[in-house]
Structure 1
């Protein structure tokens, strides 16, 4: 489903394509993603990270999280960020753009995102929410064996029990798969 959504967006709405790559690629909350500035994306030790500033995070605590995108999605995201690092765009959020049809500057907020994904869900007949991209990021980390404390730190969970719920879900699924072997 993720690939289907991303491929559809790549061909139909580049702004939401890049937003979806950002939401999934870093496991961000929508309220955090729509407030990112170009300089919040940076490279460290050959890895790409996002810095979620305290003033945009849910619990007023800054954090860094790694990008998990691979292949063409990663390349597309890097191209997007490089274009957004232009000096004239430095103080604009990543998802501020000029709409040719409406002839005005649009700043995407979480309400725009909710509305857009609701319409897209009906069109593609897939349950699409901004939070599902975050859930998918966390599930990916869990499946890769990343320690719960690390995942919790990267996604900004105040309570590690929130993160552990993803591990419980995966464990239950794993148990069912193990039962099939009997």
Structure 2
């Protein structure tokens, strides 16, 4: 009797460990070369993760709903252009995961102030909610969107403090 109870408990523990290892986590690990720069080419809708001059990964992206031109004011639907820093991360984003871009900078604030408006903020690289997984490309308010699987990889690879250059 004692042996069979031990065997049942051992089997249950093994089953629990097996089930726990099957659950997927949105937090990947990355042990490759450091990402030293993120480059976005708005015109070709591409995001590149670089180690020095070498492309480690490339992704198709979606942008703001008015993708042409530099973001000037809050609500214009444009994705900013220029060089910024990856400055924060949100593991509980409503867009799966997200990493923040340091927009607005001093130039952006001055430009918006000249217009008597707010420059906005909260520009992120993030995943896509279900309603935008249908291939619609440019739907954000100025953010850079990738698939949920891709943001998991980007989130693991890109560290805070990494420069990001967003080109027209």
Same fold (TM over 0.5): no
Higher RCO (Cα < 8 Å, 6 or more apart) = 2
- The normalised TM-score by structure 1 is 0.28
Structure with greater strand percent: 2
Structure with greater helix percent: 1
